[in-house]
Amino acid sequence: MSNSGGVELVEAVTPCCPPLTERPLTAEEAERTATMFKALGDPVRLRLFSLIASHEGGEACVCDISDVGVSQPTVSHHLKKLKDAGLLTSERRGTWVYYRVEPNVLAAMGQLLTGRRPR
């Protein structure tokens, strides 16, 4: 979606699932969760995700994270996969796209695996 200022915001899917130790996942929850982990299962995507999550301010311009040993089109492909999995959001500012980890995704993934609720 975009606003009148030409900024493109992409809505992402937030993890929905309870801790694995709480109850069995439904088929839909398992599908959604597997999509997220599958997206992180590629070393380049995991690196990109880590670069964005650890970048100052929790946001990174594509120009700051492109040096991961693959071509720019490949970086774009991997970033799209992370966005499609609901792990990232993006915002276009002029000619650059800025990426941010979906706000609740790290806490939700941690909760899923550890069973601990965020503080």
Interval 4-23: pLDDT, tens: 333 333 333 445 677 888 88
Checking if the pLDDT of 102 tops 80, the result is: yes
Output DSSP code: residue 55.
S
What does the pLDDT average to over 49-66?
90
Beta bridge partners of 99: 60, 90
- CATH code of the domain containing 37: 1.10.10.10
Answer whether residue 2 is part of any domain.
no
62 part of a folded domain: yes
Confidence bin at 118 (pLDDT 50/70/90):
low
In this structure, is residue 56 part of a structural domain? yes
Q: What is the pLDDT of residue 117?
A: 63
Among residues 104, 100, 103, 78, the alpha carbon closest in space to that of 89 is found at: 100
Domain count, the chain: 1
What pLDDT shows up at residue 11? 38
Angstrom distance (rounded) from CA 3 to CA 83: 19
Which range marks the domain in which residue 77 is found? 27-114
